[in-house]
Amino acid sequence: MRKTMMLFVALAGAALCQSDFYLKSGDRVVFYGDSITDQRLYTSDVETYVVTRFPTMPVTFVHSGWGGDRVTGGGGGPIDVRLDRDVTPYRPTAMTIMLGMNDGSYRAFDEKIFETFARGYEHIVEKVKKDLPGIRITVIEPSPYDDATRPPTFEGGYNAVLERYSAFLKELAGKNHLQVADLNSPVVGMLKKANDIDPALAQKIIPDRVHPGAAGHLAMAEGLLKAWDAPALVTAVEIDGAAGRATHTEGTKLGAIGKRGGLVWEQMDRALPFPIDWNDKSKLVPLVMRSSDFVDALDRETLKVIGLAGGRYILRIDSIEAGTFSGDELAKGVNLATLSTTPMMKQAMEVHALTVKRAAIHQMRWREIQVPLSEESVPNKGQAMAALDKVDDDLMKQQRAAAQPKPHRYELALQADR
């Protein structure tokens, strides 16, 4: 009964945390764009953030990026075909658009090319708003062409061209009451910091200068989530170790704190940390985290314990050693989201794996059956797509179930001298 009540309190409180976030219960989101969206990396990161941070809020996501796209369309067809097939049928309540990388033609700024981009983007916004009244659109400033970790290919560099396109998007957003997300300047700032730390490794964040790897997409996801007022808080716990009582909690519910050879308590969180691969073998994820404010801006899962005697302390969660900390470190506060060994991080990783699988199933349905066989008379085509839609739905249900909070037992004990 006690655990049931803790769950009820935690889930009821979770609803209160959603008020400032851009997405709301029942939203349907379409991510639209070119090959960078087609990578399904920053989009999957954003989806996982929403599912893990708001595990009781129903929101659905569709990934509709197509490599090579411009405002006029591309390999998936002209722009109106793309919108009519890959956006409108999903009846989204929210949509993101990231175009521009290909539109600038990878050359110095050209007024005629820019006019094509501007008029084409205006057409997209006008058509989407007409076809989907009430939709909320987030226009995304183009992610950077990497002129930060290596010399520009021409005077001024191509990213300066993309910055001019970004300035237009800000104006367009203001005129049309759209949300705007900057995925350019913060990523450039991250690249410059990474380049100062490790120039050779920094070049691998966007290896071809256009398409970021998974680590680079984390910084892009941060840009979109910040534009959506995503909360940084996962949990915040402050404990007076001498008194054996909690003095402050946010995003969680603590049971009674026992003092049996240390501190022992049960904790029921309302959300999970974002799944960061701190042990990434390429070392790119830790470099991006060190070069950005991702953790501070989006992933605070803090534990602060004052009043402890000197020495080092072992923190165990569900009998698993999460880390060892000095009394001074605990008094200042430890961010559990930076630990790879917690049960919460393991759970979040499982959620993200399901996010990636779900997006891949939709990609198969769309790109392997719906589009290439659209003109073919294949009797079981509709049945095959319906079956994949069902798999997609099944994976989404598993994803949401995997994200539901669980109670955990915490133990903080003085480490024996070795």
CATH of the domain at 191: 3.40.50.1110
How many CB atoms are closer than 10 A to CB 239? 25
Residues 141 and 67 in one domain: yes
Same domain, residue pair 176 and 321: no
Q: Please check whether residue 9 is in contact with residue 271, taking contact to mean a CB–CB distance below 8 angstroms.
A: no
Question: Can you tell me the mean pLDDT for 385-404?
Answer: 98
Q: What mean pLDDT comes out for the span 355-361?
A: 98
Tokens representing residue 226 in the block: 């910040």
Spatial CB neighbours of 329, under 8 Å, sequence gap ≥ 6: none
Please give the model's pTM, rounded to 2 decimal places.
0.94
What is the CB-side half-sphere exposure of residue 266 using CA atoms within 13 A? 10
Q: Could you tell me how many residues make up the chain?
A: 418
Nearest to 385 by CA among 402, 399, 366, 404: 366
Token pair for 296: 């501070």
Position 417 pLDDT exceeds 70: no
Is residue 389 in some structural domain?
Answer: yes
CA distance 371 to 233: 41
Please give the share of the chain, as a percent, with pLDDT higher than 90. Answer: 93
State how far the Cα of 122 lies from the Cα of 336, in Å rounded to an integer.
Answer: 45
Q: What type of residue is 123?
A: H
Same-domain status, 86 and 221: yes
Please compute the mean of the pLDDT values over residues 230-235 and round it to a whole number: 98
**pLDDT, average across residues 175-200:** 98
Q: Is 390 left (phi over 0), alpha (psi -120 to 50) or beta?
A: alpha
Q: In what order do the strands lie in the sheet with 28-33?
A: 60-65, 28-33, 94-98, 136-141, 179-182
d(CA 330, CA 258): 18
Same domain, 192 and 108: yes
DSSP state of 338: G
pLDDT at residue 324 above 50? Answer: yes
The residue-averaged pLDDT of 233-241 equals 98
6 is a domain residue: no
3-state helix, strand, coil in the chain (%, to 5): 45, 20, 35
User: Please, which pLDDT band fits residue 19 given cuts at 50, 70 and 90?
Assistant: low
Cβ atoms 338, 278 nearer than 8 A = yes
Q: Are residues 161 and 59 in the same domain?
A: yes
* Of 156, 206, 199, residue with least CA distance to 183: 206
CA distance 104 to 166: 11
Domain boundary among 183, 199, 230: 230
| Pair 313, 334 in one domain | yes
The whole-number pLDDT of residue 310 equals 85
Domain boundary among 168, 198, 230: 230
pLDDT at residue 8 greater than cutoff 90: no
User: Does 105 map to a domain?
Assistant: yes
User: Considering Cα of 309, then 315, then 318, then 319, what sign does the dihedral take?
Assistant: negative
Say if residues 270 and 337 touch (Cβ distance below 8 Å).
no
State the pairing for strand pair 312-317/320-326: antiparallel
Q: Tell me: do 254 and 378 sit in the same domain.
A: yes
- Contacts of residue 364, defined as CB under 8 A and 6 or more positions apart, other chains included, come to 388
CA atoms within 13 A on the CB side of 115: 3
Q: With beta carbons less than 8 A apart as the criterion, state whether 159 and 191 touch.
A: no
Q: What is the mean pLDDT of residues 119-137?
A: 98
Q: What percent of the chain has pLDDT over 70?
A: 95
How many distinct structural domains can be found in the chain?
A: 2
Give the model's pLDDT for residue 5: 38
- Cα–Cα dist 180/96, whole Å: 9
Residues 286 and 215 in one domain: no
> Quick one: 300 and 286 in the same domain?
yes
Range of the domain at 151: 18-230
- Distance CA(263)–CA(339), nearest Å, equals 20
Of 229, 252, 258, 280, nearest to 344 by C-alpha is 252
Q: How far apart are CA 121 and CA 226, in angstroms?
A: 23
Q: Given 210, 230, 250, which residue is the final one in a domain?
A: 230
pLDDT tens profile 39-65: 999 999 999 999 999 999 999 999 999
In terms of domains, do 140 and 286 share one? no
